[in-house]
Chains A and B, each alone.
Chain A
């Protein structure tokens, strides 16, 4: 009778082997598919089981997790959501993460390896494990002024501390409330996302960092820097024809066919002050493509994306094929593309005696107990001009605000420099659109300097170059003033 018993035992063994093989299939081969199946809420439950760290601006959270009564233990809240949306991004059940929520996810979620110690302590002491927090470099007053000033118009404002590269403000408009994408209600999240992503004004686009525009006359600052480096002085007389016959065909005129100075020549400083197109087109060609491109590279326009840690699109002069294109590029048209942050970096570098600092937005990374894990160290990116030459460039930009196109940026008792821009652009079909209004500038306050760039999409009137000075400069001034008032306690 032992033989059949052995056979039965073997049969049971075969059944067990079948179970083990099938378990390998379920738990290894299909593991990821099952884990990420849309009907499997385990991963999300875990993600929401512990409070996520906060994103803090001057002691006040702009993103924080608050306990809830429902199944997902913590809800992400965004006090002042729309004001800071381009920085915080969202934290969604359905649409993943975005902005700093994504860039700093390791720390905020508590997965960062530096938090391992505190996770173990939490386990032993019974505290709820919590993510780390980040404190930002932003200035509330500047950010508020920037967002309010934009007032829902399409555009962006970026403000930097020129000496450190710290972001003081970064507002994008129109904005959205990240809370609607971060709620616990799938249907409302999906409805909100559908509406936002279909909006032609692109509220989900963090314009301050990721929208690129032709910079128009803002580009002239870089060409002026290249000229100073090439030996020109602010007082150097340069050609400024009313009509500039471009070297490889085509002509360039000033707005409304106006002439600069005497219609033949002008000084470099005067050309910048009144933003003379033909003078700078000619100057770019005279200085030469390599010199202009090198200077643009030094200011950061190398076409490479970078992180602050939010992703910033690369700004670039584009491919320049001949002298005519170089002339166009020298006044910020043709293929030149610039982000608002890049425009702010230009003013910041000039203000900081030619030293361009690496922009950053995270001041400190904090452990759950708010002890400091890491303080961001400032980092010199480039010396865009030797400081003696940079002083001359400052003089020129300050002339723009004192008695040129940028007078609306003046602030009582402050040295303000800047450059306006009114950039032609067209839609996808090549039809011309109203020009973008630009201003980039700085207030050289000895204690609290600030550099600001403003872009307002299609805010001008075609053929009128005053948009930059009329629309963008006052907003830049308001942001600078708000910051100066705030820091000086006025």
Chain B
């Protein structure tokens, strides 16, 4: 599938992607086999479902990419399949542990395995992925719908806050929509929608925003009226925080927006202003909200509350410490002791059973994904693509940082999911959308210009028909 353009042959790297995919599935297969050997003493049918589903998802996605995005980055898909597969393995392993705990009467009642649900979500995620990469043949189309997407994003974001608590509250955070047994965290989608909007918006406004206003303490401050969008986003984030008690998402949105603003305008002053605003907001939140104070108290004095508010984080640390350098081996530890081991604390589950070496390897896989994302941002030619790829890559990086820092007590715990790894439909679906967008942009970045057609070095943000 190599196209030639004049003398230049650009390799598509699809075969590399397939090889890496097989390699990723091999790792997932071994991991699941180890879990079953350790827990049940023999290999059982889960080995098939937990490794065939990611394999099928990966191969189908691969075949479609061959057709509609042949020049896409070859690493992104195998990395996601690896993470999703390992997540499935760990969720299945935690099912076994939680069931055991329930049978022993030492944990909450086991209400049903999570792994099969996650498999369904994986399949749905794949469908959504295929849909997007098939339909959106040029990412620049998205900027045409920037405001529509923004509205949708805001709607998603605010919806749980205005719904009655019984539809939206889980564990004290009102960030859910619970309908007919399904729980969706719309904030995950809002994150992507608002990133698209921010990228599109900044492409048009970047010139205005980079105009210098007053100079203060050696910093060029932006003009006062240009503060407006920043203030609006800030207010929305604070609003979400107030209504939803969702520290993590609020931090995510704000960080994302500041970074995009900085990349668009190349002005450090926005970052400084943003950090100051965030610090002010955080201080305000700490003063006003009990749950923010609780999280900070737990962060500072986690071992003073081993059974109460500090239970989760202290058990997470105990798990990580018990794992030590090499870990207890998959299935050999007790990650189920940590409350919410498959969602917010799946990183400590991996840390306990794979040890420091395993967890660092896992984080490096994420670093690879993020690095490829930034490479796409650097390579793609249009401004919108650059901003969008930066935003998407940065959001993965920031989310990973906030999650891992939270469970390892580097920062207060905020309750975010680990992308691709954690149990949870909305997170998985949203991140498959993110993958589709990133692959689409990477395809644009590496695709050689069609022969005979002149392509501007930096095309306008206006959409090009797909």
Contact = CB atoms under 8 A, between A and B. Distances in A.
Contacts of A35: 318, 321-322, 324
Given A19-B405, A22-B410, A28 B41 contact: no
A71 B40 contact: no
Counting contact residues on chain B (CB < 8 A from A), the size range is 35 or more
Nearest to B264: A1
B263 interface: yes
Interface string A1-15: 111111011001101
Contact of A37 (B101, B318, B333): B318
Contact of A8 (B105, B259, B324, B367): B259
A124 B333 CA distance: 19
Contacts of B159: none
A66 interface: no
Interface stretch (B114-122, B186-194, B236-244, B354-362): B354-362
Given A12-B394, A31-B324, A40-B322, A24 B356 contact: yes
Interface in B167-199: none
A70 B322 contact: no
A307 interface: no
A431 interface: no
A20 to B, nearest CB: 6
B404 A19 contact: yes
Nearest to A19: B404
B41 A27 contact: no
B397 A12 contact: yes
Given A20-B363, A71-B105, A126-B42, A31 B321 contact: yes
B318 A42 contact: yes
Given A2-B378, A4-B262, A70-B106, A43 B322 contact: yes
A9 B371 contact: yes
A34 B306 CA distance: 12
A187 B383 CA distance: 67
Interface residues of A, number: 45
A48 to B, nearest CB: 11
B397 A16 contact: yes
Contacts of B328: 46
A22 B334 contact: no
A1 B266 contact: yes
Contacts of B314: 37, 39
Given A126-B41, A126-B42, A127-B41, A27 B351 contact: yes
Contacts of B356: 23-24, 27-28
Contacts of A31: 321-322, 324-325
B143 to A, nearest CB: 15
Interface in A33-77: 33-35, 37, 39-43, 45-46, 69-71
Interface string B303-334: 10011000000110111111111001000111
Interface string B341-359: 0000000000110011001
A10 B367 CA distance: 11
B123 interface: no
B65 interface: no
A123 B35 CA distance: 12
B263 A27 contact: no
A379 interface: no
B351 to A, nearest CB: 7
A34 B355 CA distance: 14
A41 B314 CA distance: 12
Contacts of B332: 46
Interface in A380-433: none
B334 A69 contact: no
Nearest to B352: A42
B40 A34 contact: no
A198 interface: no
Contacts of B371: 9
A26 interface: yes
Contacts of B400: 16, 19
Contacts of A374: none
B41 A125 contact: yes
B227 interface: no
Interface in A186-238: none
Interface of A: 1-6, 8-9, 12-13, 15-16, 18-20, 22-24, 26-28, 30-35, 37, 39-43, 45-46, 69-71, 122-128
* 7 A-B pairs closest in CB distance: A34-B321, A126-B41, A40-B318, A12-B397, A9-B374, A39-B306, A27-B356
13 contacts: A1-B387, A5-B378, A12-B374, A15-B398, A19-B401, A22-B409, A23-B351, A27-B351, A39-B307, A40-B321, A69-B105, A70-B106, A126-B40
Interface of B: 37-38, 40-42, 101, 104-106, 259, 262-264, 266, 303, 306-307, 314-315, 317-325, 328, 332-334, 337, 351-352, 355-356, 359-360, 363, 366-367, 370-371, 374, 377-378, 383, 386-387, 390, 393-394, 397-398, 400-401, 404-405, 408-410
